[in-house]
Amino acid sequence: MSLLLVGLSHRSAPVSVLERASLAADTQAKLLQDTLAAEPAAEAAVLATCNRIELYADVDKFHAGVAELSTLLAQHSGVGLDELTPYLYVHYEDRAVHHLFSVACGLDSMVVGEGQILGQIKDALALGQELHTAGRLLNDLFQQALRVGKRAHSETGIDRAGQSLVTFGLEQLADGGDTAAWAKGKRALVIGAGSMSSLAAATLARTGVAEIVVANRTRARAERLAEILNQPGSTGTRAHAVEMAEVPGELTRADIVVSCTGATGLVLTAEAVAGALGADRVPAGGEASGLIPAQSTGPVRLALLDLAMPRDIDGGAARLDGVRLVDIESLAEASADAPMAADVDQVRTIVADEVAAFGAAQRAAHITPTVVALRTMAAGVVADEIARLDGRLPDLDEKQRAEITQTVRRVVDKLLHAPTVRVKQLASEPGGAGYADALRELFDLDPQTVAAVSRADLNDPNRGRS
């Protein structure tokens, strides 16, 4: 079996395609189950964020696997296969490992170095484990990706090189100025109460806004987030929750709006923003039908940060006088030239080293069941010969029998030690997968015995725990 990745992201597909291809949580679960039911796949995991959808699988046939995974992505995303195919990328074996490790380090993020992706990788692994679609390979892969990402953030300055989407978005709204000075005393409206919205609210509070209003479809979640922001010893920012129906009214009093919901349609239309500002009409071309229109000029009365995919805020709002809109697409463009070359190079070195180590460990693990089966066979030969000796020399006392048994076992262990150690070393090198087959052939090992060892290793409840 071999690792295969088929996916699309902000680097390969336009925002309009990513918006339509986004996967809800229940759709992700169905995608995993259907992938595992497909003939080429033995394991599956899906990494779905606001700007990427990646399907990982352990497959026995490359071309059939690519075709099957591509078809499944099209079926569950709702984007036709013909339309989706030009934007898909495929990575196989070490290249797939390299890609996931790079993603975990934030090298493939819109804002390089952002750390939120680690939580999303952890969620992807948890879903695969919950549905029992992630087996030995994908458990090892995603666990190691989490470790590599943490290593990159602890050993390099990649955190400084690229901030989280929220922080970077606020910097763009502040037009490159001091974010704290820009935000001080302002009133913020946060729409949504999920992980990204919670991060946005916490960041706004640390930045120094005077008040945060949280709106969410589930009032209880909005109230819980407001309670956290109001806890004693916090930043001092006042926070309270409102119903989604109250958003139009709150919009008239807000200076900053951050929106990140799971809605499939617009949460704020250009007309709603215009109404809140008292504008007479929406400028021509204001509908959300592709790229964000050119930003309006003049003093900013309302700053909008859209972190949702698909987008929450109508792109046409950017053309309104006094409105500044920053969204996922504009964040990607703004972060392209950030000065982070030295940190990125250091992280790339870490990724390359970790990919090599992971490959070696996987290749070594591949031969371990064969080595165990060989030693099991040798132990059986020793036991049979000792039993035969007992029949021929029934007068041996216990001490003599124990000495003979120990001697025979020592001889067998010494004969097997050098070749088994060496075969593990050879198998860990690139191209070493054939050594397990050679060992099975030379010693006429029962394939069922080797498979039984592999299954026992896979079912070990302590395997892969960190």
> Which residues form the catalytic set?
50
C-alpha span between 465 and 11 (Å, rounded): 33
Other C-beta atoms within 10 Å of 135: how many?
Answer: 20
CA 122 to chain centre: 7
C-alpha span between 120 and 360 (Å, rounded): 26
* Interacting residues of 427 by C-beta distance below 8 A, sequence separation 6+: 363, 364, 366, 367, 433, 435, 436
Q: Which residues of 44-57 are buried (b: 16+ CB within 10 A; e: fewer)?
A: bbbbbbbbbbbbbb
What backbone torsions phi and psi does residue 234 show, to the nearest 5 degrees?
-80, -160
Q: DSSP 3-state helix, strand, coil percentages of the chain (rounded to 5)? A: 55, 15, 30
Burial label, 18 (beta-carbon count in 10 A; 0-12, 13-18, 19+):
buried
Q: Rounded to whole angstroms, what are the CA distances from 384 to 371, 388, 420, 449, 452?
A: 20, 6, 22, 18, 22
Burial label, 338 (beta-carbon count in 10 A; 0-12, 13-18, 19+):
middle
Q: Angle, to 10 degrees, between the axis of helix 341-392 and the axis of helix 447-458? A: 130
C-alpha span between 195 and 213 (Å, rounded): 16
Under a CB-based contact definition with an 8 Å cutoff, are residues 259 and 307 in contact? yes
Other C-beta atoms within 10 Å of 349: how many?
Answer: 12
